[in-house]
Amino acid sequence: MTQADGDWLSTKEAAAALGLIPRTLYRLIDEGQLPAYRFGRVIRLKQSEIDDFVAQSQITPGELEHLYPETATSTETEAATSDA
């Protein structure tokens, strides 16, 4: 199968399209986060399902607040160090 025959991608192509290493792609498949299909010894993924996975992975505003410090916390830390 080739992309001309449909929207099927090899694992190598899918990993490259997602910017992942193949090991991470296989983990996503194994965890059920990304559908894949086995044809004999070959694993293929549908482009449309990869597109759906990308759309579902979109970060909503405010979802990453835990990854950066709040300004009040850093102000308290600065005040504590200046008192010492």
Give the span between the Cα atoms of 49 and 47, in whole angstroms.
Answer: 5
SS3 state at 45: strand
0.85 exceeded by the pTM?
A: no
Whether 43 contacts 50, CB under 8 Å: no
pLDDT tens by residue, 24-60: 999 999 999 999 999 999 999 999 999 999 999 999 9
3-state secondary structure 24-77: HHHHHHHCCCCCCEEECCEEEEEHHHHHHHHHHCCCCCCCCHHHCCCHHHHHHH
Rounded mean pLDDT of 65-69? Answer: 87
- CA 23 to centroid of chain Cα atoms: 13
Domains parsed from the chain with CATH numbers: 1-60 (1.10.10)
